[in-house]
């Protein structure tokens, strides 16, 4: 998602999934990407699955006109 200078706004629905409900390949990909595997944690964990409906991103004022990247679940441009 970029550095802290970048702004990303994601609107959508979120669903909490127990670790056992996530396909092993998805959990493996998450662990490989983030360097953290919640399946190995002693703490109680869950995956949060977000289905985006709208995504906006920008860094500076000049990017505001084209900031909408997804609308109604469809990628724009």
- Phi and psi for 43 in degrees, rounded to 5? -75, 155
What global pTM score does this model have?
0.63
DSSP per-residue codes, 16-77: EEEGGGS-HHHHHHHHHHHS--GGG-SS--EEEEEEEEEEEEESSGGGGGG-EEEETTEE--
pLDDT in tens, 18-51: 999 999 999 999 999 999 999 999 999 999 999 9
CA 5 from centre of chain? 17
Domains of the chain: 7-75 (2.30.110.10)
What percentage of residues in the chain have a pLDDT greater than 90?
Answer: 74
């Amino acid at each position: 998602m970029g550095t802290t200078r970048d702004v990303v706004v994601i609107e959508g629905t979120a669903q909490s999934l127990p670790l056992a409900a996530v396909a092993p390949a998805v959990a493996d990909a998450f662990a490989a990407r983030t360097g953290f595997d919640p399946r190995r944690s002693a703490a109680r964990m869950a995956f949060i699955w977000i289905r985006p409906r709208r995504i906006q991103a920008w860094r500076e004022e000049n990017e505001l006109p084209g900031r909408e990247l997804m609308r109604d679940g469809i990628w724009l441009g």
